[in-house]
C-alpha cells in the first residue's frame, strides 16, 4: 500500500472482495473480518484527518481563515 487516497480506496475494495469471497469460510473468514474492522477504524481516523486539512485549505481559499497552524502544512 502507498500513501494516496486512491491507494486507500483500492485497499478497501480488495478487502471487500476478500470478505465476500464465497470460498473463504470459518476461521479464515473471521480473521479477515477482524482485519477489515481494524482497517475501517484506522481509515475513519485518516479520513477525518484529511477532512480537517481540506477544510483548512478551503478556509484559506475563501479568505475566512485567520492563522492556520504550521502543523497543517498549508501556506497562505
Sketch the domain layout of the chain as residue ranges: 5-72
Rg (CA), the chain: 18
What is the CA 29 to chain-centroid distance, rounded? 23
Distance (Å, rounded) from C-alpha 7 to C-alpha 43? 12
Q: Which of the residue ranges 8-17, 18-27, 50-59, 62-71 has the most confident prediction, judged by mean pLDDT?
A: 18-27
Nearest to 54, CA basis, from 73, 30, 27: 73
pTM over 0.85, yes/no: no
Amino acid at each position: 500500500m502507498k500513501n494516496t487516497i486512491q491507494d486507500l480506496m483500492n485497499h478497501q475494495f480488495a478487502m471487500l472482495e476478500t470478505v465476500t469471497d464465497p470460498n473463504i469460510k470459518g476461521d479464515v473468514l473471521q480473521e479477515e473480518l477482524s482485519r477489515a474492522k481494524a482497517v475501517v477504524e484506522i481509515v475513519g481516523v485518516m479520513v477525518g484527518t484529511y477532512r480537517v486539512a481540506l477544510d483548512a485549505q478551503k478556509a484559506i481559499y475563501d479568505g475566512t481563515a485567520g492563522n492556520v497552524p504550521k502543523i497543517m502544512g498549508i501556506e497562505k
